[in-house]
């Protein structure tokens, strides 16, 4: 079970469930756009500076708030002032905003989906 021991890569934080040929149950209730954004955020292949720095260097890598360069999942989820008013959605399920719990647990992913839907986080901005 090589998948269980891997700690490298941007998906490592979210990789806490055994592999499956079907999505987790909570994904079936999500609109397609939110499903895609949640998957991108969990895998690290999202519209954010850290991804752009590696894969699309022509894109701006800094956060629009001006506080992080490159913009990261951690910054968006835990620190960015642009999403402060929506962070309570995550804190209701994961009070300490632990990234592994948000990205890798069923309750965390459900909260992440609500957070993305309300805040617009991880959407392409330009």
Query: In the chain, which stretches have pLDDT less than 50?
Result: 1-3
Number of domains in the chain: 1
**pLDDT for the residue numbered 39:** 92
Task: Indicate whether 53 belongs to any domain.
Answer: yes
Tokens 């804190």 belong to residue:
91
Token look-up 């402060």 returns: 84
Position 19 in a domain: no
pTM for this entry: 0.83
Q: Output the six-digit token pair for 54.
A: 């590696």
100, 83, 114, 96: CA torsion to nearest 10: 40
Q: Tell me, yes or no, whether 18 lies in a domain.
A: no
pLDDT tens column, 51-84: 999 999 999 999 999 999 999 999 999 999 999 9
Q: Please, what is the angle between helix 32-43 and helix 106-119, to 10°?
A: 120
The first and second tokens of residue 51, run together, are 């991804």
Q: Is residue 20 part of a domain?
A: no
Per-residue pLDDT at 40? 94
pLDDT at 9: 59
10 neighbors 44 (Cβ within 8 angstroms): yes
Residue 86 lies in domain: 26-119
Q: Tokens 């995550």 label which residue? A: 90
């Amino acid at each position: 079970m090589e998948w269980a021991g891997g700690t490298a890569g941007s998906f490592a934080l979210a990789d806490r469930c055994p592999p499956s040929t079907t999505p987790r149950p909570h994904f079936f209730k999500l609109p397609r756009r939110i499903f895609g954004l949640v998957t991108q955020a969990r895998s690290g292949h999202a519209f954010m500076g850290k991804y752009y720095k590696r894969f699309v260097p022509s894109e701006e890598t800094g956060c629009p708030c001006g506080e992080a360069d490159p913009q990261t999942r951690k910054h968006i989820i835990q620190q960015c002032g642009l999403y402060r008013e929506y962070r309570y959605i995550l804190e209701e399920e994961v009070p300490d905003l632990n990234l592994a719990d948000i990205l890798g647990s069923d309750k965390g992913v459900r909260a992440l989906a609500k957070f993305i839907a309300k805040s617009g986080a991880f959407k392409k901005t330009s």
